[in-house]
Structure 1
Amino acid sequence: MNCRHFNTIPLEEVLVSLGHHPTKQNEKEAWYLNPFSTETQASFKLNKRNNVWYLHSEGIGGNNIDFMMKYLKASVKEVLEWAEKQNFSSFQSQKDYHSKSSSLNYHITEIKELQNENLKIYLQQRGLSPTVYSLVKEVHFAIGEKKLYAIGFENLSGGWELRNSLYKGSLLKKDISILNFNIESQNQNETGKRIAVFEGFLDALSFVEMKPFFKGDVLVMNSISLLNRTKEYLQNYSEIHLFLDNDKAGEICKNEILKSFPEAKNHSEIYALHKDLNEYFVFRNNTKIEKQQQVELNPKQEQEESEINQAHQTYRRKR
């Protein structure tokens, strides 16, 4: 992807992928709360026809590249590297129905337990087993006239992070997500002791698979724009473990959190050769399968694998 290609992608779709939705809009323009900081009155204006933006509160504006450079605090090269990983091809394939609607209408039509086989296959492709099915939902939604479905992960404000093999986005209000594990086995003084922090929910689900006996909370940021919200929540914990992405945005988040919480532990070196924990998890699983095809596990290893597979996690999602 080059600058010209990235700038042709509707900024409206880039904003949706980051969890930002307009407070008001018409066929020519849309207004958003400042994506770069907190505000109560929308000052970010998107010109839909020219695909450019202007932030009235700061007197600056530009195209997609300019927006992401400021959003990620990154160079042009780093922005393009980020864009390559976002699967924006899904937005291009949806261009036909976006053009039919002057005012995009995003809404959820149904939420239910995970049943769709295509979504289950997608989770399997990401290295995840039925162990994590209870932590997600199957969400059916519409964007304009297009009906879609995806794996849904709920946040504290009732919004949803959505993923399938072709779509990556969110609906309703953007917020962090929190999971409690084995809360029944902790006393009141221990509930706020330990927390593991992730950027995306697929990384968090990978962690759940890798650490079936983890006791504590799991925080999913869902967007780097929620860094301040994340830091506010982390004040309740004395033991913080970071599993953030190995890219520019992840580096920014890690450094900012470590600046506020010097005792926090960074674990990104575990998957230093990979973009994120899920990518490492998939690689590790594939490597394990290859080894198992060549050499049988010894009895002790078989017993350990059996114990892990039989482990049942109890959890409660905080509201």
Structure 2
Amino acid sequence: MINNNLIEDYLSSKGIYPARKYRNYSMYHAPYREDKNPSMMVSGSRFEDLALGLSGGLNKLKELMHDSPNIYIYRSSDKIIDNKSSSSFRFIDSKEIGNNPILNQYLASRCIDISIAKLYCREVYFTNGKKSYFAIGLPTILKNNFALRNIYFKGNLGSGISYFQNGYLGQNLKIFEGMFSMLSYFQTFQYSKCELFRGDVLVLNSLSNINKIKHYASSYSSLELFFDRDKSGVASTQKVLTDYSHAEDFSEVYNGYVDMNDSLIGIRKMIESVKGKILK
């Protein structure tokens, strides 16, 4: 006899039950990530994560659940972590980017290739109390401290700026406000065989770290600023331009967008739209 409820039976064996049941399908809180609103649809032997665009059968679901350090089961009393909780985070482990399908999907949603993220970032696994989480982590200058990002969370495990020497000490330093602006820059210019892909990198991770630039400014002949185009980003850009005569504002190249990632996503959408019209 064919079991048409393979996935529901498997989940119930783990103590995981539907948040809502309908005639032809059930809605679950995705058990492999924090899912405040139930977004995993299960129908017979198939599931679909409506938030992440993932789908598959029982083996795929098992793979996703086993990839997490611990299965996360959402309860109504739980809240999505906010930045104020970051002081209670505890580092567990980090892995090379590409192992976690949920984080891979998140990078894809931000138009960042795994090969680009690997250059600077790690998968970071951490706890907050008794719960386990994972995120894209940009290492800071402090050991086992990271700027963290996932689909639901923007915060930090520890503190600090991120600094990477690529062999351009004494030449140019590219300064970014956050990790995805930095990743978007190298994503955009990865195939450019010119000066665009060259330079050491400083990521502030927060504009509150803007005064940390002074520790690096004198070591470079030029400072290239890629801050957000919002009010605080523009004000910070002006401050750095005033403080350092060898600083230059590069944010004008993505004028009309909030930041480099917003620009990258916008350009990708435009390309797909044009493709759709030409190829239909």
Compute the TM-score of the two structures, normalised by the length of structure 1: 0.56
Match of 1:287 among 270, 273, 280: 270
SS at 1:292's partner residue?
Answer: helix
Q: Distance in 2 between matches of 1:143 and 1:94?
A: 12
Q: How much does 1:147 deviate?
A: 1.1
2:103 equivalent in structure 1: 119
Cα pair 2:176 2:227 within 8 Å, conserved: yes
2:231 equivalent in structure 1: 248
Relative contact order (alpha carbons < 8 A, sep ≥ 6): 1 or 2 greater? 1
In terms of Rg, which structure is larger? 2
**Are residues 146 and 127 of structure 1, via their aligned partners in 2, closer, same or farther at CA, if it must alter by over 3 Å?**
same
Match of 2:200 among 214, 217, 235: 217
2:29 equivalent in structure 1: none
Q: Distance in 2 between matches of 1:223 and 1:93?
A: 30
Q: Distance in 2 between matches of 1:164 and 1:97?
A: 11
Q: Distance in 2 between matches of 1:169 and 1:148?
A: 13
SS at 2:165's partner residue?
Answer: strand
Instruction: Indicate whether 1:157 and 2:156 are aligned.
Output: no
Amino acid of the structure 2 residue aligned with 1:164: N
Q: How much does 1:96 deviate?
A: 8.7
Q: Distance in 2 between matches of 1:280 and 1:93?
A: 37
Q: Distance in 2 between matches of 1:122 and 1:97?
A: 17
Q: How much does 1:131 deviate?
A: 2.3
**Are residues 218 and 93 of structure 1, via their aligned partners in 2, closer, same or farther at CA, if it must alter by over 3 Å?**
farther
Q: How much does 1:253 deviate?
A: 1.5
Cα pair 1:139 1:151 within 8 Å, conserved: yes
Q: How much does 1:195 deviate?
A: 1.3
Instruction: Indicate whether 1:194 and 2:172 are aligned.
Output: yes
2:127 equivalent in structure 1: 142
For residues 46-95 of structure 1, the C-alpha deviation after alignment (integer angstroms, 9 at most, x for no partner) is xxxxxxxxxxxxxxxxxxxxxxxxxxxxxxxxxxxxxxxxxxxxxx9854
Cα pair 1:197 1:221 within 8 Å, conserved: yes
Q: Distance in 2 between matches of 1:127 and 1:96?
A: 24
Q: How much does 1:176 deviate?
A: 1.4
Instruction: Indicate whether 1:170 and 2:148 are aligned.
Output: no
Cα pair 2:228 2:258 within 8 Å, conserved: yes
Structure 2 segments unaligned to the other structure (5+ residues): 1-75
Q: Distance in 2 between matches of 1:160 and 1:223?
A: 12
Instruction: Indicate whether 1:266 and 2:249 are aligned.
Output: yes
Q: How much does 1:216 deviate?
A: 1.4
Q: Distance in 1 between matches of 2:227 and 2:135?
A: 24
**Are residues 230 and 205 of structure 1, via their aligned partners in 2, closer, same or farther at CA, if it must alter by over 3 Å?**
same
Q: Distance in 1 between matches of 2:243 and 2:186?
A: 26
For residues 90-148 of structure 1, the C-alpha deviation after alignment (integer angstroms, 9 at most, x for no partner) is xx9854999xxx9x732011111121111011111111112213121111111122211
**Are residues 285 and 97 of structure 1, via their aligned partners in 2, closer, same or farther at CA, if it must alter by over 3 Å?**
closer
Q: Distance in 2 between matches of 1:191 and 1:245?
A: 25
SS at 1:132's partner residue?
Answer: helix
**Are residues 235 and 285 of structure 1, via their aligned partners in 2, closer, same or farther at CA, if it must alter by over 3 Å?**
same
Instruction: Indicate whether 1:233 and 2:216 are aligned.
Output: yes
Q: Distance in 2 between matches of 1:252 and 1:144?
A: 37
Q: Distance in 1 between matches of 2:235 and 2:244?
A: 14
Q: Distance in 2 between matches of 1:105 and 1:264?
A: 37
Q: How much does 1:220 deviate?
A: 0.5
Cα pair 2:173 2:223 within 8 Å, conserved: yes
Q: Distance in 1 between matches of 2:81 and 2:212?
A: 34
Structure 1 segments unaligned to the other structure (5+ residues): 1-91, 184-189, 297-319
Query: Percent of aligned positions with the same letter in both sequences?
Result: 31
RMSD of Structure 2 on Structure 1 (CA): 2.6
SS at 1:162's partner residue?
Answer: strand
Q: Distance in 2 between matches of 1:227 and 1:248?
A: 15
